[in-house]
C-alpha cells in the first residue's frame, strides 16, 4: 500500500492576530478564514495535513486576566493556560476549516488533539529562564511577586518588569499514536498548539506539567519527524528568509542547504526570538529524514510549494 504524503503546516502568530488589531475573537476567526488557502491547496494536491500554531498573545491575555482577578479566583498555572489556549485556538481553526471544506466540497473531518510534549527536567534551560510572559509590572510589584512566588523576573526592553520562564527543548510527543491514527483515518489534525502542553516524565513514569514554554516551531519539527511527514512548512510574516534583515545590505535567500543554514545560524544572522527557531526546526527535521522544509508567508503557500516563492531548505 502506497504511503500517503504528509505535510505539517505551522501557522505563525499573524494567522490569528495582526499587529494593528486588538485580538478579539471575531478578528481571530476572520484572520484564520483568510489563512486557509494554503491548507486547501495542499489537500487538493493529495497531502494529508497536520496543523500547528502559536499561542503567545492568547497566553499573555490569559495571564493578564489572572492578574486582574488576583484574590478573586484560584491562580491558573502556565501549563493550564497553554492547554486552554490550545483548545480554544484549535476550535477556531477547526470550525473555520470545516466551513471552508464544505464550500470546497472536500469531505474531511478536522480534529484538534490537546498535545502533551515532554521536555527534559534536566535541560539547562531550567536554570536560565529567558522567555518573557504575561503582564508588565512595576519594579516593586515584580520584586514582591519574585519573593512570594519564586518567579524569575527580568526587565523587558525598558518597558517594565515581566516574569521570565524556561524554554527547554521538546523531546517527545505523548499523543503521537493518536495523531497517526487520525491521519490514517483521513482526518486533518490540529496538534502541538503553542508548542504543546509542557510536561516532564517522573521517575515512576508519570507525567507532570511544568511552568515553561516550548517553541512552536521546534515542537512542530519533532511532530513532523515522528509522524514521518514529507514536508514542514513554517508560516510567518515574511515571504523569504533574509540575511541582514531590514538592513541596506539585506539578501533574500530562496534556497538553503542544511550546511549553509547551520553556518548562518552560528554566525548570528537568525536571532533566537525570531527566525532562529525556524531555521533550527528545519535543520532538525531534515537531519531526521524530512524531504523539504519551507519558510514563507501565510499567503504564499501555493507559490512556495510550486517552488516560485519562499525559502526552501534541503539536506543537500
Does the structure show a pLDDT above 50 at 16?
A: yes
Percent of the chain, pLDDT > 70? Answer: 98
- Domain containing 274 equals 5-120+170-314
- Comparing 202 with 75, which gets the higher pLDDT? 202
Regarding whether 161 and 99 lie in a shared domain, the answer is: no
Regarding whether 205 and 294 lie in a shared domain, the answer is: yes
Q: Which tens digit of pLDDT belongs to each residue from 203-233?
A: 999 999 999 999 999 999 999 999 999 999 9
pTM summary value: 0.92
Mean pLDDT for 303-311 is 94
Does the structure show a pLDDT above 60 at 2?
A: no
Q: Provide the domain count of the chain.
A: 2
Q: Would you state the pLDDT for residue 165?
A: 87
Regarding whether 242 and 145 lie in a shared domain, the answer is: no
* SS3 label, residue 123: coil
Percent of the chain, pLDDT > 90? Answer: 66
Contact present, 10 and 232 (Cβ < 8 Å): yes
Residues 6+ apart with CB under 8 A from 151: 145, 163
Regarding whether 142 and 67 lie in a shared domain, the answer is: no
Give me the active site residues, please: 13-14, 131, 216, 278
Q: How far is CA 244 from CA 223, 270, 289, in A?
A: 30, 9, 30
Phi and psi at 181, nearest 5°, equal -65, -40
Band of the pLDDT at 65, cuts 50, 70, 90? confident
Band of the pLDDT at 14, cuts 50, 70, 90? low
Q: Which tens digit of pLDDT belongs to each residue from 32-59?
A: 998 899 999 999 999 999 999 998 888 8
Does the structure show a pLDDT above 80 at 13?
A: no
Question: What are the cell numbers at 28?
Answer: 481571530
Mean pLDDT for 144-172 is 85
Give every strand in the sheet of 116-119, ordered side by side: 170-173, 116-119, 197-201, 207-209
Q: Would you state the pLDDT for residue 3?
A: 58
Does the structure show a pLDDT above 70 at 291?
A: yes
Regarding whether 136 and 200 lie in a shared domain, the answer is: no
Does the structure show a pLDDT above 70 at 1?
A: no
Q: Where are the beta strands (DSSP E) in 42-187?
A: 47-53, 110-113, 116-119, 131-137, 152-155, 161-165, 170-173
Q: Which tens digit of pLDDT belongs to each residue from 227-275?
A: 999 999 999 989 999 998 888 888 999 999 999 999 999 999 998 878 9
**What CATH number does residue 208 fall under?**
3.40.1160.10
Q: Which tens digit of pLDDT belongs to each residue from 105-152?
A: 999 999 999 999 999 999 999 988 888 877 788 888 888 888 888 888
Regarding whether 153 and 97 lie in a shared domain, the answer is: no
DSSP string, 167-207: -PPEEEETTHHHHHHHHHTT-EEEESGGG-EEEEE-TTS-E
Regarding whether 133 and 277 lie in a shared domain, the answer is: no
- Comparing 284 with 145, which gets the higher pLDDT? 284
Regarding whether 81 and 45 lie in a shared domain, the answer is: yes
Q: Across the chain, what does the average pLDDT equal? A: 91
Regarding whether 287 and 138 lie in a shared domain, the answer is: no
Regarding whether 285 and 159 lie in a shared domain, the answer is: no
The CA distance from 293 to 7, in Å, is 10
Regarding whether 137 and 115 lie in a shared domain, the answer is: no
Q: Would you state the pLDDT for residue 156?
A: 75
The CA distance from 63 to 136, in Å, is 11
Regarding whether 186 and 107 lie in a shared domain, the answer is: yes
Amino acid at each position: 500500500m502506497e504511503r500517503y504524503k504528509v505535510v505539517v503546516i505551522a501557522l505563525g502568530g499573524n494567522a490569528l492576530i495582526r499587529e494593528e488589531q486588538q485580538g478579539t475573537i471575531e478578528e481571530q476567526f476572520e484572520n484564520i478564514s483568510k489563512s486557509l488557502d494554503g491548507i486547501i491547496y495542499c489537500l487538493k494536491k493529495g497531502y494529508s495535513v497536520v496543523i500547528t500554531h502559536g499561542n503567545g498573545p492568547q497566553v499573555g491575555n490569559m495571564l493578564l486576566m489572572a492578574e486582574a482577578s488576583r484574590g478573586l479566583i484560584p491562580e491558573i498555572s502556565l501549563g493550564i493556560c497553554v492547554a486552554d489556549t490550545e483548545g480554544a485556538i484549535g476550535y477556531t481553526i477547526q470550525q473555520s476549516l470545516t466551513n471552508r471544506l464544505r464550500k470546497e466540497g472536500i469531505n474531511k473531518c478536522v480534529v484538534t488533539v490537546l498535545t502533551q510534549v515532554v521536555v527534559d527536567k534536566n535541560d539547562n534551560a531550567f536554570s536560565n529562564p529567558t522567555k518573557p510572559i504575561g503582564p508588565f509590572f512595576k519594579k516593586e510589584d515584580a520584586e514582591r511577586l519574585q519573593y512570594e512566588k519564586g518567579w524569575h523576573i527580568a526587565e523587558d526592553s525598558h518597558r517594565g518588569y515581566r516574569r521570565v520562564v524556561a524554554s527547554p527543548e521538546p523531546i517527545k510527543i505523548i499523543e503521537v499514536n493518536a495523531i497517526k491514527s487520525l491521519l490514517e483515518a483521513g482526518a486533518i489534525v490540529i496538534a502541538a498548539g503553542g508548542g504543546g502542553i509542557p510536561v516532564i516524565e517522573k521517575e515512576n513514569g508519570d507525567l507532570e506539567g511544568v511552568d515553561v514554554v516550548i517553541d512552536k516551531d521546534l515542537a512542530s519539527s519533532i511532530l513532523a519527524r515522528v509522524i514521518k511527514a514529507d514536508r514542514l512548512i513554517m508560516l510567518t510574516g515574511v515571504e523569504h528568509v533574509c540575511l541582514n534583515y531590514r538592513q541596506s545590505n539585506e539578501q533574500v535567500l530562496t534556497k538553503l542547504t542544511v550546511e549553509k543554514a547551520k553556518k548562518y545560524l552560528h554566525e548570528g544572522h537568525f536571532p533566537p526570538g525570531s527566525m532562529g527557531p525556524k531555521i533550527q526546526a528545519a535543520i532538525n527535521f531534515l537531519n531526521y529524514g524530512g524531504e523539504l522544509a519551507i519558510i514563507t508567508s501565510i499567503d504564499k503557500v501555493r507559490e512556495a510549494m510550486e517552488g516560485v516563492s519562499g525559502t526552501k531548505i534541503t539536506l543537500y
